[in-house]
A = this chain, B = another copy of it.
Amino acid sequence: MAGTDRSKESRTGGPAVVLVQPQLGENIGMVARAMMNCGLGELRLVAPRDGWPNPAAEAPASGARAVLKAARVYETLCEALADCHFSYATTARPRGIIKEVFTPKGTAADLRRRIGEGQKTALVFGAERTGLEAEDVALCDVIVNVPLNPAFSSLNLAQAVLILGYEWYQSGDETPEAYLQTGESPPADKGEVSAFFERLEDELDSVNFFWPDHKRPSMVRNLRSLFNRLEPTQQDIRTLHGVVSALIMARKKRGPRK
């Protein structure tokens, strides 16, 4: 059944994933799962070897059965791409074909731009063993190649879909590359931190920790710098106060260290 129902097509806003002559139902299921991980929902199958629907796809799809259910089947890649404006052939070995080659990251940026302009796009993947035939690649606009260990670069089908989907998702995601996960406790403010330092330094002064006197300023500075590196939360400061109290108690119990 060729694609006639256009109403569902922009369900996800992302590219369609087209599998050309996929062999194992298990792999189709794992592709569906990888797609859902990445917020992609539109799966197109070109002449799946074992027919469709294929019960073998169900379990590996795990929570992504909705993607399988919405999958559409085509007889040829040409039909599967009929309503698309731009398509990307994923292939590791573009022998003698003259085409632009994108990395997955470059693909994601290009997808965002084209989809933003209202273009319908498709990522095209070949069969498990053979990959895309030259005729299939020729039908697509550009090639996508995943830069990986040249001595061992073949990805299985679901992993290739995952890498492309991952880059698609990242290109629209704004998570900073690193941030502090503080749980329920907000970061301590400088007043709370200073109050802790002053208490700690008072206690340490009481046992002449900062000795000799002329080294006191640099010793205090180093100690403050050490705890500041923690970027302490309010809970951290409470914990540190507790540790100081406990150590003082231990000292009192054992008697002062000589």
Q: Number of contacting residues on A, CB 8 A?
A: 56
Instruction: Decide: B37 and A153 in contact? CB cutoff 8 A.
Output: yes
Cβ of A155: which chain B residues have Cβ within 8 Å of it? 37, 162
Q: How far is the CA of A42 from the CA of B176 in the complex (A)?
A: 29
How many copies, total? 2
A247 CB to closest chain B CB (Å) equals 22
Q: How far is the CA of A143 from the CA of B101 in the complex (A)?
A: 34
Residues of A142-196 contacting chain B, CB below 8 A: 142-143, 145-149, 152-156, 158-159, 162-163, 166, 169-170, 173, 175-185
Q: Which residue of chain B has the shortest Cβ distance to A67 in the bound complex?
A: B152
Instruction: Decide: A177 and B36 in contact? CB cutoff 8 A.
Output: no
A242 CB to closest chain B CB (Å) equals 15
Q: How far is the CA of A236 from the CA of B100 in the complex (A)?
A: 14
Cβ of A105: which chain B residues have Cβ within 8 Å of it? 170, 177
Instruction: Decide: B159 and A100 in contact? CB cutoff 8 A.
Output: no
Tell whether A233 is near chain B: CB-to-CB under 8 Å.
yes
Question: CB < 8 Å: which of B98, B100, B175 contacts A185?
Answer: B98
Tell whether A235 is near chain B: CB-to-CB under 8 Å.
yes
With A149-B37, A169-B148: A177-B106 Cβ-Cβ less than 8 Å: yes
Q: How far is the CA of A138 from the CA of B36 in the complex (A)?
A: 30
Question: CB < 8 Å: which of B33, B147, B156 contacts A169?
Answer: B147
Instruction: Decide: B148 and A103 in contact? CB cutoff 8 A.
Output: no
Cβ of A163: which chain B residues have Cβ within 8 Å of it? 162-163, 166
Can you list, as one digit per residue, whether each of A200-242 has a CB less than 8 Å from chain B (1) or not (0)?
0000000000000000000000000000000001011000000
Task: Name A's B-contacting residues (CB within 8 A).
Answer: 33-34, 36-39, 63-64, 94-103, 105-106, 109-110, 142-143, 145-149, 152-156, 158-159, 162-163, 166, 169-170, 173, 175-185, 233, 235-236
